[in-house]
């Protein structure tokens, strides 16, 4: 079981392959967030010694109706009803984007350093929101890490065998099939217990950015879902647990040599 995996190494990796980290709280009841004080309140809560977040309002998409001569045929609507409008706020700074709409609070980072820097952003956002709007029900809490692994000594899929653990490589371990594999994609759904789950999507593919040489994508989506009353401390503790779970599965997916390459104790390749 995933609960039997060893405690992860939490030391920062200088050569980390992380491309994107996403934390999201999906709410069960729509929020009333149209008041400008919601956006400016979030902006004030997130401002710190690193500077202020830029603030932009998310406006509902415009609906364009084309009017033509003649009557509308019987049984036909005179206009198509638009999807429910999305409104909200987007705050952005240095690779960090915080987005609030009426169904979710989302934090995205393309410049992730470590959990201790990332966690306070959504914690302060939640604390500010509690003073601005009513947060009554949670539907889904998720944390996603997307890694793109690239090595100069890997040209074709079968070259990943020293770097990615065998349980993820499938036919690349086969003595006859391996050299014929051009790409490999799979999804694995894990039950982590205590209401937590993790979906791992892995892909080995010919990378156009590397002139067709093989790259490896590892996408870890840890989450809990199902209605529950909103509880700030519960959200924070579960987010910590999702982070630990993601680290455990990541470190179980790669070989010790690749981990040491990320850590800088082996050539990065």
Give the 3-state secondary structure of residue 98: strand
Residue 120 lies in a domain: yes
| One domain for residues 92 and 37 | yes
Q: How many domains does the chain have?
A: 2
Q: Are residues 131 and 151 in the same domain?
A: no
In a domain, 91, yes or no: yes
**249 part of a folded domain:** yes
231 assigned to some structural domain:
yes
Is residue 245 situated within a structural domain? yes
Q: Are 223 and 241 in contact (CB under 8 A)?
A: no
Domain assignment of residue 13, yes or no:
no
- Final residue of a domain: which of 135, 170, 193? 135
CB-based contacts of 123, cutoff 8 Å, min separation 6: 236
Counting residues of the chain whose pLDDT is more than 90, the rounded percentage is 79
Whether 130 has a pLDDT exceeding 80, the answer reads yes
Assess if residue 234 is contained within a domain: yes
Angle between helix 115-132 and 36-46 (nearest 10): 150
In a domain, 156, yes or no: yes
Give the domain-ending residue among 112, 135, 158.
135
Check whether residue 257 and residue 217 sit in a common domain: yes
| pLDDT (tens digit per residue) in 63-78 | 444 444 444 444 444 3
The residues with which 57 forms a beta bridge, in sequence order, are: 89
Based on the fold, state whether residues 104 and 151 are members of the same structural domain.
Answer: no
pTM: 0.88
- Expressed as residue numbers, the domain containing 119 is 30-58+85-135
Residue 173 and residue 103 in one domain: no
Instruction: Give the residue carrying structure tokens 């709409």.
Output: 101
Q: Specify whether 50 is located in the same domain as 98.
A: yes
Quick one: how far is CA 142 from the chain centroid? 8
**Quick check: 21 and 269 in contact, CB under 8 A?**
no
Local confidence band at 155 (pLDDT 50, 70, 90 cut-offs): very high
Contacts of 205 (CB under 8 A, 6+ apart): 183, 184, 185, 214, 215, 217
Q: Are residues 129 and 156 in the same domain?
A: no
Residue pLDDT, tens place only, 211-264? 999 999 999 999 999 999 999 999 999 999 999 999 999 999 999 999 999 999
Residues 92 and 175 reside in one and the same domain: no
Q: Same domain for 101 and 169? A: no
Residues 129 and 149 in one domain: no
Do 42 and 129 lie in a common domain?
Answer: yes
102/161 same-domain check = no
Integer Cα distance of 95 and 112 in angstroms? 8
DSSP-based three-state secondary structure for 172:
helix
Q: Strand pairing partners for 25?
A: 105, 141
Q: Which of 77, 101, 135 is the last residue of a domain?
A: 135
């Amino acid at each position: 079981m995933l609960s039997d995996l060893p405690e992860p190494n939490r030391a920062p990796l200088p050569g980390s392959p992380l491309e994107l980290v996403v934390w999201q709280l999906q709410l069960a009841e729509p929020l009333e967030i149209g008041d400008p004080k919601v956006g400016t309140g979030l902006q004030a809560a997130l401002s710190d010694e690193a500077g202020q977040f830029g603030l932009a309002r998310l406006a509902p998409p415009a609906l364009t109706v084309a009017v033509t001569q003649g009557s509308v045929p019987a049984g036909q609507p005179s206009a198509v009803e638009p999807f429910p409008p999305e409104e909200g706020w987007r705050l952005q700074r240095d690779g960090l984007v915080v987005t609030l709409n009426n169904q979710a609070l989302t934090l995205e980072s393309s410049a992730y350093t470590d959990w201790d820097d990332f966690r306070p952003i959504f914690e302060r956002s939640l604390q500010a929101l509690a003073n601005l709007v009513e947060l009554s029900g949670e539907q889904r809490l998720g944390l996603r890490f997307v890694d793109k692994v690239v090595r100069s000594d890997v040209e074709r899929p079968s070259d990943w065998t020293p770097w990615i653990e065998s349980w993820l490589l499938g036919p690349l371990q086969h003595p006859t099939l391996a050299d014929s594999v051009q790409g490999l994609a799979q999804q694995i759904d894990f039950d982590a217990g205590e209401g937590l789950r993790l979906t791992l999507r892995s892909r080995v593919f010919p990378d156009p950015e590397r002139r067709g040489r093989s790259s490896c994508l590892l996408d870890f989506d840890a989450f809990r879902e199902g209605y529950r009353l909103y509880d700030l401390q519960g959200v924070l503790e579960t987010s910590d647990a999702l982070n630990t779970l993601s680290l455990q599965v990541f470190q179980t997916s790669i070989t010790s040599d690749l981990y040491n390459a990320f850590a800088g104790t082996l050539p990065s390749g």
